[in-house]
Chain A
Amino acid sequence: MRDHKLKLKNKTDKKFFDLFNSVFLNDSRKILFIFLVLFCLLGGLFFSGLLVAAVGGSPTKVLSSLIEGSFQTPGAFGRTLVEAIPLLLVSIGVIVSFRAGHYNIGTEGQVAIGALFAAVIALQIPGPEWFVIIFAILGSFLGGAFWSGIAVGAYLWRRVDVMISTLLLTFIAPNIVLFAVSRDYLLLDTTESNTRLASQSERVPEEKRLPEFEIFGQELHWGVIVAVILSILLTGLLGKSVWGLKVRLLGANFVTAKRFGVTQAKEGATALLLSGGFSGLAGGMIVMGSAFRLQSHIANDFGWDGLLSALVSRLNGYFAILSSIFFAALRTGSSFLAATGVSRTITSVIQGLMVIAALMPAALIVVISRSDYGRQRFGNQKKGSD
């Protein structure tokens, strides 16, 4: 109801602030949201500290090594960013499908299938390196889209609930990958280095990996740029294009959407396929940019964490960049923490606490806007009051 826009003095200021407002703070809800994020993260840190103190450790040391591990030690920030790539890609896919009103929660499986496609192409298709790299990345996109396509098909054919079908497909995907990496006529690594015949593929040869570059002493690969460009592009399209309007209309009110020619079969299916494709792309980035070989647990929770990161960003593609870096930092930080001797179980609990802390604001803001205080301050979202 009320707008809390800042009063401005001159035009250039205004332009900058308009941009700033449109990205982050176009109303008081977003200010509240940012406050809540900080508050909840501090809360999460506080409880993590309590836990560490309870088992006889030093909370400050744990905190500093979390930060060291994700940002401070040489190359750590680069590792965090590389880890954030698949998370961001999954997140923007999730954002597209959720905005269209379809809840694709099978991202973990789509990541695995995307990785499988990328590995097959990278390891088995001959050709010039640049061609193989591009082809593998595109292939991973198609792989993920194919995996979500099964759910799309079931939905269009028999109205099978997308949330359920995508979730169930998640349990099939790693088994397919496992099958592929444990058969020598498929992808099993039969070179001498793999003497115990562990279920994994060969390493992707160095010249066929995503090209790396170094900036400020951090080693990154091109996936970072691709992911950021894609997320800005897609967020822009969702907000400003005809297609984006149609997708959001479908999610907001599918009856109105039908009247204006927006259909589940076209816009809805496209959004789901795109969403699967982005998850698959995340899988491709993992194989081609950081893991370099396929294993059955290649998805390694990237799909789930990406889903969470999308929720934490409240389905905002720009916030998703920040939230996926946060989740990536948690991943790298807690593995560093484990390396400093804190027990693995404790680091997992800390990671879980921080995830809850990051998810709290999105939930709290719903609770607040439904409370008496919120209704009076922010107005009721659902009903226009007379």
Chain B
Amino acid sequence: MENRYTFELCWWAAIAAHQLIKVKVLNMKSSSDVLSLSSITKRFGDILACDHVDFNVPEGSIVGLLGQNGAGKSTLMNIVIGLYQPDAGSVSVQGNQVKIRSPKHAAELGVSMVHQHFSVIEALSVWESVCLGDKSSYDPDSVKDQIFSLAEKYGLGVDPNSRISELTPGQRQRVEILKCLRRDPKVLILDEPTSVLTDEESVKLFDVVQRVVEDEGRAAVLISHKLDEILYATQQIVIMRDGQVIEKIPTENAEASFLAEAMVGRKVSLRSSASAFGITETDDYQLDEKSVEKDNFASLVLKVENSTCLDDRGRRLEGFNLEASAGEIVGVTGAEGNGQALLADLLSSLVSLSEGSISVDGKIVKTGVPGAMSEAGIAVIPEDRHHSGCALELTVAENLILNRAKQLSNWGIIRKENRDSFVNDLIKKYDVKASSSEQIFGNLSGGNQQKCVVARELSANPKILVAVQPTRGLDVGAIEFMVAQIKSASDNGVAVILISTEISEVLELSDRLIVMYKGRNQLELSRKDFEVGAIGAAMAGES
């Protein structure tokens, strides 16, 4: 009798063990995907932002998420980090199906995001920013030690004691990454991480991410517009368009032209939108046959002479000269922080010169006098439109008429009929996607905000157009649009000053090129003399 019981017990135990092992094995199988989304759907009003999206991130790999603005990438990632709740579908982290309630919850589950716009606070020091948001108590010294060791391990050199305001964009991003790594995430999401980085910094960043992912069994998602980045850094590429996943391919089988096509949904001229992808090999650069040098420009429109100034942020110009004629595109390039931004501010009436002068059509324009440059016919597409290009709290219509409110008004009252017809024309012409002209400007997407700024600046029939990093952070379609706008402005006789750090863009568009170094003209070339080697040397300060 006793024996029989023992036997039965053993039998049941064996079954239970088998079941357990089965479950365990199954779990192990699915846990090779650190993050997996299945059939995610999210709808905003009439817009289907994500349409049954399946998305997996295998352990130890970097997955590139590619798509134009509005393709649903950001929405998808916002669902992953708990900012949005999906209308349908499920999210699994390390094989367990979860409902992610908030970014904090996501972080607890091991999903962390490095944002495109930095969320660090300027007034804090590095170590303070890193432990910002921690609930548990901490000891400054141990946090600093931790930062030191993390920084050492991954080659992210940042001094924990320095203030955020003193750091370069690249260093700030390192702080963001350190902040994420300290929470020991399984999945790291990088949203447009290189939009503010130099090429060198970008390569460094990807090396770090590669190491983090491969050596420690984590995984990463890289959201980007730039094809070269995606091709360089990822193992697998997922392409989204209109809320759907269009394509999933291993990176080794991917080709730039194929990716671009899948992303836009039609054939794109890689040539004209090369700067979008950053895939132009600047060494192999060859001139377009179309853009033969235009020789005789009608007349000199803008003359910046011996301009010298030093602003309170320590940026300086030292005897910088610039001339531009009607219909000419003058490219101004250089490594970031060599006075280009200050030049743009100068032409926006935001700073004044201590020496030198600026004249438009032979007439001297006073620098630093509010509105003077705009009145003289200088339109500016600023680098940071939120800083000097728009007012987020005003409506779309109001932002579009900032430079011509007077013309649209009678006795100081803005005529609604005039305004509406003007604004609606612009919205139609530039294909701005707004629910109405009374929508709050800050609620538009980034691409549409940029379109509005361009529309407003070009609608004033300027003599001079200053475009600062006009294609930075834009997707292919938007870049094509931007490039077309710049070209047509110059065809219409506008003198264009194209200030950009993307050499390929400057080479492609400009008739003449100036390399700035430490606020001076380091090199000036006309189109027929363009030579990448010389430009690179000049950017580094060699003449």
Contact = CB atoms under 8 A, between A and B. Distances in A.
Contacts of A261: 349, 370-372, 374-375
A274 to B, nearest CB: 15
Interface in B376-395: 380, 386-394
Interface in B52-91: 69-70, 73-75, 78, 82-85
A241 B445 contact: no
Given A245-B398, A245-B405, A384 B388 contact: no
Contacts of B388: 253, 255-256, 259
Given A383-B117, A384-B445, A262 B371 contact: yes
Which of B370, B371, B387, B401 has the most CB atoms of chain A within a 10 A radius of its CB? Answer: B370
Given A258-B350, A259-B371, A376-B85, A241 B435 contact: no
B446 interface: yes
A249 B414 CA distance: 15
B444 interface: yes
A376 B413 CA distance: 36
B447 A386 contact: yes
B494 to A, nearest CB: 18
Given A255-B387, A372-B83, A386 B442 contact: no
A234 to B, nearest CB: 13
Interface in B426-465: 435-436, 438, 440, 442-449
Tell me the dominant secondary structure on chain B's binding face: loop
A379 interface: yes
B533 interface: no
Contacts of A381: 392-393, 440, 442-443
Interface string A237-274: 00011110110110111011111111100000000000
A67 to B, nearest CB: 38
A249 B391 contact: yes
Contacts of B82: 372
B391 A256 contact: yes
A255 B85 contact: no
Contacts of B393: 248, 251-252, 381
Nearest to A253: B391
Contacts of A263: 370
Which of B83, B102, B375 has the most CB atoms of chain A within a 10 A radius of its CB? Answer: B83
A251 B392 CA distance: 11
Nearest to B116: A386
Contact of B442 (A246, A251, A260, A383): A383
A382 interface: yes
A12 interface: no
B413 A241 contact: yes
A256 B380 CA distance: 11
B435 A3 contact: yes
A135 B28 CA distance: 88
B306 to A, nearest CB: 24
B204 interface: no
A190 interface: no
Interface in B391-432: 391-394, 398, 401-403, 405-406, 409, 412-414, 416
B402 A241 contact: no
Contacts of B78: 385
A384 B414 contact: no
A241 B374 contact: no
Contact of A384 (B373, B394, B442): B442
B392 A253 contact: yes
8 contacts: A245-B401, A245-B414, A248-B394, A253-B386, A253-B392, A261-B374, A375-B83, A386-B70
Given A246-B405, A253-B388, 4 more contacts: A245-B394, A256-B390, A256-B391, A258-B371
Interface of B: 44-45, 69-70, 73-75, 78, 82-85, 101-102, 117, 348-350, 370-375, 380, 386-394, 398, 401-403, 405-406, 409, 412-414, 416, 435-436, 438, 440, 442-449
8 pairs of A and B residues whose beta carbons are closest in the complex: A261-B371, A252-B391, A253-B391, A252-B393, A386-B74, A242-B405, A255-B388, A384-B445
